[in-house]
């Protein structure tokens, strides 16, 4: 008997050049400070540590001599290294605030002249750099392999056709900075450029993209040069995510003219749904009531509405059925269905 062990494919991802630079600077920080004090200030090696403590303070010194560890951790770009980075950064920021808020005169006299200006400028530069890294790269979607719910920019699962270099594929999620495209067995490589085109009734995206990560199932793509107005459109749409349709597969019944007929609910939004069902005898604008029991949950929804579209020939990539508009919005139901039964958002 042969035992076959299937190992999951390790995702590959691309680190921007700024990430590599940040790693190098963190590892080199204590050595650069020692070199500056020894060569340019002439401090003996035996007195360098005490001189650094006197000039920088305890917290800043701890930050300086532990920075190589953080630099190495940043290479792995995972959740642990992120928390280490935040905790480590907080030391220098806390030290800087305490010094200037509690003893500004003492701090100004501790390291006089140009060195004091250099330290202050360095602290300010560090604050700006950390903020930039946090905002632009370190938590940006598809920058690295982190828990996907942990990313900074809001994303939603979707199910929508996109064109990638002219090839028709399906996007599995979307954010204002990028998307994940389902493409198992792809031969595209991390760092390569693609042209992406995404069309819907309410949204159009057409721009270059860069592949930031690959997995066994697809590609994480960062949008390049997407106008700010389009990013705002995406963010606005994602904030109103429950107006989108959720892909589902739920048995229900539809009551039309006091007669019940079985149906399968294929998608659902805050204001309506699409049912796979026989359509004989139906007419548009006619009132109907959908009964949606959720097996095992003890929940049941009665959804009065009206028929707004009858798909008699199975058009628009849908089986024969009809679309129904609810008499009132159903945000609570939509939220519950999305959490427990949803299979991905559909954007049209």
pLDDT band of 113, cuts 50, 70, 90: low
How many CB atoms within 10 Å of residue 26? 21
Per-residue pLDDT tens over the stretch 207-246: 999 888 888 788 888 898 888 888 888 877 766 654 567 8
pLDDT band of 276, cuts 50, 70, 90: very high
Map tokens 């989108």 to a residue.
Answer: 244
pLDDT band of 287, cuts 50, 70, 90: very high
pLDDT band of 52, cuts 50, 70, 90: confident
Least confident of 55-59, 80-84, 121-125, 239-243: 239-243
CA distance 90 to 31: 21
Q: What is the mean pLDDT of residues 304-331?
A: 87
Cβ contacts of residue 173 below 8 Å, gap of 6+? Answer: 148, 155, 156, 157, 158, 179, 180
Per-residue pLDDT tens over the stretch 119-149: 667 666 766 666 665 555 554 444 443 434 3
pTM over cut 0.75: no
- Sort strands 178-182 and 218-223 into parallel, antiparallel or unpaired: antiparallel
Least confident of 133-147, 247-261, 302-316, 330-344: 133-147
Domains assigned to the chain: 12-138 (no CATH), 148-239 (2.40.10.220), 243-346 (2.40.10.220)
Map tokens 């005898």 to a residue.
Answer: 281
Map tokens 């294929």 to a residue.
Answer: 266
To the nearest whole percent, how much of the chain has pLDDT over 90?
A: 18
């Amino acid at each position: 008997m042969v035992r076959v062990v299937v190992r999951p494919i390790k995702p590959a991802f691309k680190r921007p050049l700024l990430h590599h630079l940040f790693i190098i600077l963190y590892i080199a920080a204590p050595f650069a400070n020692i070199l500056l004090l020894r060569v340019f200030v002439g401090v003996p090696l035996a007195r360098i540590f005490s001189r650094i403590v006197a000039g920088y303070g305890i917290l800043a010194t701890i930050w300086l001599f532990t920075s190589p560890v953080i630099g190495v951790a940043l290479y792995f770009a995972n959740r642990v290294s992120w928390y280490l980075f935040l905790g480590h950064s907080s030391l220098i920021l806390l030290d800087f605030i305490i010094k200037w808020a509690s003893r500004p005169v003492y701090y100004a006299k501790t390291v006089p002249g140009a060195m004091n200006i250099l330290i202050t400028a360095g602290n300010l530069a560090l604050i700006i750099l950390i903020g930039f890294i946090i905002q632009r790269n370190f938590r940006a979607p598809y920058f690295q392999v982190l828990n996907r719910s942990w990313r900074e920019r809001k994303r939603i699962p979707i199910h929508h056709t996109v064109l990638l270099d002219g090839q028709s594929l399906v996007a599995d999620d979307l954010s204002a900075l990028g998307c994940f495209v389902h493409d198992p067995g792809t031969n595209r490589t991390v760092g390569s450029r693609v042209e992406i085109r995404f069309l819907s009734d309410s949204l159009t995206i057409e721009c270059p993209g860069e592949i930031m990560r690959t997995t066994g199932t697809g590609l994480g793509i960062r949008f390049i040069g997407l106008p700010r107005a389009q990013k705002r459109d995406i963010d606005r749409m994602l904030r109103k995510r429950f107006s989108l349709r959720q892909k589902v597969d739920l048995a229900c019944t539809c009551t039309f003219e006091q007669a019940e007929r079985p149906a399968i609910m294929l998608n659902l939004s805050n204001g309506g749904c699409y049912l796979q069902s026989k359509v004989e005898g139906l007419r548009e604008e006619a009132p109907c009531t959908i009964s949606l029991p959720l097996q095992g949950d003890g929940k049941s929804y009665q959804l009065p509405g009206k028929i707004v579209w009858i798909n008699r020939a199975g058009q628009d990539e849908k089986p024969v059925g009809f679309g129904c508009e609810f008499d009132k919005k159903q945000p609570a139901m939509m939220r519950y269905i999305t959490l427990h039964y949803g299979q991905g958002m559909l954007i049209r």
